[in-house]
Chains A and B, each alone.
Chain A
Amino acid sequence: KAGVTQTPRYLIKTRGQQVTLSCSPISGHRSVSWYQQTPGQGLQFLFEYFSETQRNKGNFPGRFSGRQFSNSRSEMNVSTLELGDSALYLCASSLEGTQDTQYFGPGTRLTVL
Chain B
Amino acid sequence: KNEVEQSPQNLTAQEGEFITINCSYSVGISALHWLQQHPGGGIVSLFMLSSGKKKHGRLIATINIQEKHSSLHITASHPRDSAVYICAVGGGSATNKLIFGTGTLLAVQP
Contact = CB atoms under 8 A, between A and B. Distances in A.
B96 interface: yes
B57 interface: no
Interface in A66-113: 88, 90, 92, 94, 97-104, 106-107, 109
Contact of A42 (B31, B96, B100): B100
Interface residues of A, number: 27
B59 to A, nearest CB: 15
A33 B41 contact: no
How would you classify the secondary structure of chain A's contact residues: helix, strand, loop or mixed? strand
Interface in B17-60: 30-31, 33, 35, 41-45, 48, 50
Interface of A: 31, 33, 35, 37, 42-45, 48, 55-56, 58, 88, 90, 92, 94, 97-104, 106-107, 109
A48 B91 CA distance: 14
Interface residues of B, number: 26
A97 to B, nearest CB: 5
Contacts, number: 72
Contacts of B43: 90, 92, 104
A94 B96 CA distance: 8
11 contacts: A42-B103, A45-B99, A48-B97, A55-B96, A92-B43, A97-B95, A98-B93, A98-B94, A99-B31, A104-B43, A106-B42
Contact of A43 (B30, B45, B92, B100): B100
B54 to A, nearest CB: 12
